[in-house]
C-alpha cells in the first residue's frame, strides 16, 4: 500500500510540475503556474503533490480543483450528481466556503447550458481581462509550439517526447538537404504540433497492446484531420496546418487522411513524413519494443521512393548512423 501511495504521489508530482512548466512557457504568471501545480491539493491535506491543507493552498488552486471535479461529474452524470459530489467532499477535498458558493449557483440551469454550449470558447474568451495580451514574437511562437508539444506527448507514455524528437529529426534532415532557415523554422513548429489532433483519440486506443479493430483504426486515422482543423483556426499557426497534417501521407497517394499524391506534398511535408516514421520505428509502442537502428533503416529503405521521399530517407539514414 505504501509503495502504491508513493507511486501515485510521484505520478501527480510529474503531472502537476509539467502543467506549471507549460503555463510558464506559455507566458502565464507565476501565480497562475502555482495554481495549476496545486489544483489537486485537498482542503484536509490529503491531496497532491505536496499535501498542502486549508489556507496553504492558493485560492485560485482551490477554485480550479473544485471546478474540475464538478465539470467531470456534470459531464458524465449530470449537474445534480456534480452538486452531490461537491457536497460529499466539502471539508475533505474542498474549502467549505467555496463549496457553499458553488452550491449557490449549482441550481442555475443557464450556467450548465452555457457550459455545454458550442460557443463556450467564445464565452470564455469574452471574460478575458483587457490589456493582458502577450506579443507573439518569433521566440514566443517557438515557446508556444514546445509547450503544446508537451501537452500532446503527455497523453500517453508511448508518445512521451515524440513530438520533440520528430522536430529534432526533421530539422536534421532539413539541414542536410539545404532547406533555408525560414522554412526550417516553420518545419520545426509544424513537427512539434503535428500530433495535436491525437488529443481526440481515446487512450484506450492509443495504449492498446493488441491489434486495433477496424473501427479503432478509423478513429486513429482521423487524427491528422483534427490536426488540420485545430491549427487552421489559429492565425499564427494556420500556415503550418497543411504540412503538419500531412505526416501520414505517402508519395504513392496511399497515405491518410487525404490520400495526397507526391505532387501535392511540399519538401517540408515529405521531410515530416520521414521524421515521424523514423521516430515511430525507433520508439517503444504498446504492441512492440523499439527497433534496432539497422532494422529501422531497412524498413525505411523499403519505403524509399514509394511511400517516402528518397532524399529525406537518405538524410535520415545519416542521422541514425
Q: Which residues are catalytic?
A: 198
Asked whether 184 and 176 are in contact (CB, 8 A), the reply is: no
Count CA within 13 A, CB hemisphere, residue 98.
24
The three cell numbers locating residue 160: 512521451
Closest CA to 311 of 178, 164, 187: 178
**Cα 152–161–8 angle (5° rounding)?**
80
Q: Is the dihedral of CA 22, 25, 30, 31 positive or negative?
A: negative
**Cα 303–301–224 angle (5° rounding)?**
40
How far is Cα 37 from Cα 56, in angstroms, rounded to an integer? 13
Residues in contact with 144: Cβ distance below 8 Å, sequence separation at least 6, in sequence order: 25, 26, 136
Q: Is the dihedral of CA 137, 142, 144, 145 positive or negative?
A: positive
Asked whether 49 and 40 are in contact (CB, 8 A), the reply is: yes
User: Largest Cα–Cα distance of the chain, in whole Å?
Assistant: 66
How far is Cα 75 from Cα 6, in angstroms, rounded to an integer? 30
Residue ranges of the alpha helices (H) in the chain?
2-25, 30-37, 59-77, 79-89, 96-105, 109-115, 120-126, 138-153, 162-176, 181-193, 203-206, 214-221, 223-232, 241-244, 267-282, 293-303, 310-320
Amino acid at each position: 500500500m505504501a509503495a502504491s501511495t508513493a507511486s501515485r504521489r510521484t505520478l501527480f508530482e510529474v503531472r502537476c510540475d509539467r502543467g506549471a512548466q507549460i503555463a510558464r512557457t506559455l507566458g502565464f504568471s507565476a501565480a497562475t503556474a502555482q495554481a495549476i501545480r496545486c489544483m489537486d491539493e485537498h482542503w484536509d491535506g490529503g491531496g497532491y503533490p505536496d499535501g498542502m491543507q486549508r489556507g496553504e493552498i492558493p485560492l485560485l488552486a482551490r477554485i480550479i480543483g473544485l471546478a474540475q471535479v464538478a465539470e467531470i461529474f456534470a459531464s458524465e452524470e449530470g449537474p445534480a450528481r456534480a452538486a452531490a459530489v461537491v457536497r460529499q467532499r466539502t471539508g475533505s477535498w474542498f474549502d467549505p466556503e467555496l463549496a457553499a458558493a458553488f452550491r449557490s449557483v449549482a441550481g442555475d440551469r443557464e450556467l450548465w447550458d452555457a457550459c455545454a454550449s458550442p460557443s463556450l470558447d467564445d464565452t470564455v474568451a469574452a471574460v478575458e481581462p483587457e490589456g493582458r495580451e502577450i506579443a507573439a514574437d518569433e521566440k514566443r511562437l517557438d515557446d508556444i509550439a514546445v509547450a503544446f508539444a508537451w501537452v500532446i506527448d503527455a497523453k500517453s507514455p508511448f508518445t512521451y517526447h515524440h513530438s520533440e524528437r520528430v522536430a529534432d529529426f526533421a530539422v536534421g534532415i532539413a539541414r542536410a538537404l539545404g532547406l533555408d532557415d525560414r522554412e526550417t523554422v516553420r518545419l520545426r513548429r509544424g513537427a512539434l504540433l503535428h500530433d495535436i489532433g491525437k488529443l481526440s483519440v481515446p487512450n484506450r486506443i492509443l495504449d492498446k497492446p493488441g491489434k486495433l479493430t477496424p473501427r479503432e483504426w478509423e478513429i486513429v486515422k482521423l487524427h491528422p484531420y483534427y490536426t488540420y482543423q485545430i491549427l487552421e483556426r489559429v492565425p499564427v499557426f494556420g500556415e503550418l496546418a497543411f504540412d503538419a497534417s500531412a505526416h501520414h501521407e505517402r508519395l504513392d497517394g496511399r497515405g491518410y487522411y487525404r490520400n495526397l499524391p507526391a505532387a501535392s506534398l511540399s519538401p517540408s511535408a515529405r521531410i515530416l513524413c520521414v521524421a515521424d516514421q523514423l521516430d515511430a520505428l525507433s520508439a517503444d509502442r504498446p504492441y512492440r519494443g523499439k527497433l534496432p537502428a539497422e532494422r529501422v533503416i531497412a524498413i525505411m529503405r523499403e519505403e524509399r521512393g514509394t511511400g517516402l521521399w528518397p532524399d529525406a530517407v537518405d538524410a535520415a539514414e545519416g542521422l541514425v548512423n
